[in-house]
Amino acid sequence: MNQIRVGIVGTGFMAVAHIRAYQQVEGIEIGALCNPSGRNLDGDFSDVHGNVGSDEPVKLDMKNVATYQSLDRLLADDSIDLIDITTPTFLHHEQALEALVSGKHVLCEKPMTRTSQQAREITEAVEKAKGFFMPAMCLRFWPEWKWAKDAIDDNRFGRPLSARFRRVAEAPAWGQNSFLDGKKSGGGLLDLHIHDADFAAYCFGRPSHVYAQGHTKVSGEIDHVLAQYTVDCGATVSAEGSWAMAKGFGFNMAYTVNFENATLDYDLARGDEALKLFEPDKEPQTLKIDAGDGYTGQISHMVESIQSGTTPKVVTAQDGLTSIELCEAAKHSIETGERVRL
């Protein structure tokens, strides 16, 4: 089978995270880079940094990689099968629609769009598109989170009684022209918290209500949020997300799922002992899951879908829309002090 060729739109931090993943996934190769400004189109990403992943600089061999400063020209390149949109959030809507109309497959970084109305337009366009579309919700593919999802689904430790998800960080030190302008990024609520809002819905189904508290700090939009979700199974489910930590705090992500017969606890800050399982009358276990990361997982899923000709199932455009609706409901709850029905 021929290699799938991907054209990456955007050459910032998320592009680098995706490039590292592409280099580990069989069946796909980077065929083009696109950035209107021309930045990093030489394939040297040594000046690009973020809050996750390796610090090892990325330098692409550009021998077989085309470069474009126009999305239209990239979309006209018949050698490119998949468009990977890693640009700032406020650009996703227009770029994704153009890519879908072109007939190519599309992987779009989260959040899928800046607003739920834009996301509905994407969802409608996907129904008519020739190519596949997948929002890049990497948490669904992160091994330690997938382990929790599987444990919930197969009733491994009995019924889940509660789940708490937490993702907190200092304000981004990169991409500040877009991230710290809440009108463009949606603030910490839409850019960071959306991971756990999505994962809560993935595990427990679309919530019926959201109640949230929070505040702004750096973007003019909500940068710290604590949301409570009402879900059908009756579990107590909450998620906290923040860009409001003090400089020097860095980044941390964690979760605790309490079942009838066990407690599963993950905390990135524990390093090699991040994932722990506590069961009655047993010694606590540190679970080791060696299965890559969420970026390689999501790209592998997209590659498998294209190769098999089957629509991506783990995460869909509708899921991308739901995650944005959850964030907008949380914002409305924060502003009104009321519990919001979805």
3-state helix, strand, coil in the chain (%, to 5): 35, 25, 35
- Separation CA 115–CA 284 (nearest Å): 43
- Separation CA 238–CA 312 (nearest Å): 27
- Separation CA 15–CA 84 (nearest Å): 9
pLDDT confidence of residue 53: 62
| Model confidence, pTM | 0.97
CATH architecture of 4-137: 3-Layer(aba) Sandwich (3.40)
- Separation CA 282–CA 261 (nearest Å): 11
Q: State the span(s) of the chain assigned CATH 3.30.360.10.
A: 140-294+324-341
Residue 121, SS3 per DSSP = helix
Closest of 247, 215, 206 to residue 342, by C-alpha: 206
- Separation CA 44–CA 63 (nearest Å): 13
Q: State the span(s) of the chain assigned CATH 3.40.50.720.
A: 4-137
Instruction: Give phi and psi for 204, each to the nearest 5.
Output: -120, 5
55 or 224: which carries more pLDDT confidence? 224
**pLDDT tens track for 85-120:** 999 999 999 999 999 999 999 999 999 999 999 999
- Separation CA 163–CA 159 (nearest Å): 11
Question: Residue 175 — very low, low, confident or very high, per pLDDT cuts 50/70/90?
Answer: confident
Q: Does domain 140-294+324-341 have CATH number 3.30.200.20?
A: no
Q: Which helix (H) or strand (E) holds 100?
A: helix 89-101
